């Protein structure tokens, strides 16, 4: 039923569990799995070294997602911007028919049930969203 599944990955425990489920769902449906990691822009005045470090960190998070799911490099997207917006754009761009993500991420406020990014994606997604606890 699902042809293209998009996994949003931020390296959190929830996202790791989401990666496992996305992989299983993709296998079960014979679907293409695309993974996306979004890094937030660094203001110019903070300088090149910080930007470089931010990029390297983002690349390593994306690599981790690839290692957990086995998706090829061309299906691993590194995007700059606000996470929910970039995830939604990627879902549209890749014609995803399912988005898989964690209920929570790396944010500090553990008492909330849903993180702000998952909340926004659920509210605006063009397709079903599978939230992993
Ligand atoms: P908040 O960010 O509002 O403080 P949080 O970090 O606990 O809260 P979210 O950021 O909404 O919660 O994370 C929920 C899920 O969204 C994560 O498990 C992950 O699947 C996805 N996600 C969050 N940030 C990113 C990101 N930068 N790139 C890709 N996916 C992300
Ligand atoms: Mg977050």
DSSP string, the chain: --SEEEEE--SSHHHHHHHHHHHHHHHHHT-EEEEEEEEPPPPGGG-HHHHHHHHHHHHHHHHHHHHHH---GGGEEEEES-HHHHHHHHHHHTT-SEEEEESS-S-S-TT-SS-HHHHHHHHH-SS-EEEE-
Domain membership of residue 115 (yes or no) is yes
Domain membership of residue 71 (yes or no) is yes
What pTM does this model have? 0.97
Domain membership of residue 4 (yes or no) is no
Structural domain boundaries, residue 107: 82-127
For residues 83-88, average pLDDT:
98
How much is the pLDDT for 110?
Answer: 66
How much is the pLDDT for 129?
Answer: 98
Q: List ligand 1's pocket residues with C-beta within 6 A.
A: 8-10, 12, 14-15, 18, 36-38, 83, 87, 101-102, 104-107, 115-118
One domain, residues 92 and 118: yes
Domain membership of residue 15 (yes or no) is no
Question: What is the 32 CA–ligand 1 centroid distance (Å)?
Answer: 22
Q: Domain total for the chain?
A: 2
pLDDT tens per residue across span 18-73: 999 999 999 999 999 999 999 998 888 888 898 899 999 999 999 999 999 999 99
Domain membership of residue 25 (yes or no) is no
How much is the pLDDT for 68?
Answer: 98
Question: What is the 127 CA–ligand 1 centroid distance (Å)?
Answer: 18
Mutate to test the pocket of ligand 1, among 6, 19, 60, 83 (most ligand atoms within 8 A of CB): 83
Whether the per-residue pLDDT at 13 is higher than 90: the answer is yes
One domain, residues 76 and 38: yes
């Amino acid at each position: 039923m699902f042809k293209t599944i998009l996994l949003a990955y931020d390296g959190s425990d929830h996202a790791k569990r989401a990666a496992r489920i996305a992989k299983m769902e993709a296998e079960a449906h014979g679907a293409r799995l695309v993974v996306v990691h979004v890094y937030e822009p660094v203001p110019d005045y903070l300088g090149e070294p910080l930007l470089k470090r931010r990029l390297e960190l983002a690349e390593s998070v994306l690599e981790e997602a690839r290692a957990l799911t086995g998706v090829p490099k061309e299906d691993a997207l590194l995007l700059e911007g606000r996470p929910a917006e970039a995830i939604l754009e990627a879902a549209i761009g890749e014609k995803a028919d399912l988005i898989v993500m964690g209920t929570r991420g790396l944010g500090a406020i553990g008492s909330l049930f849903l993180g702000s990014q998952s909340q926004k994606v659920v509210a605006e997604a063009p397709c079903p969203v599978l939230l992993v606890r």
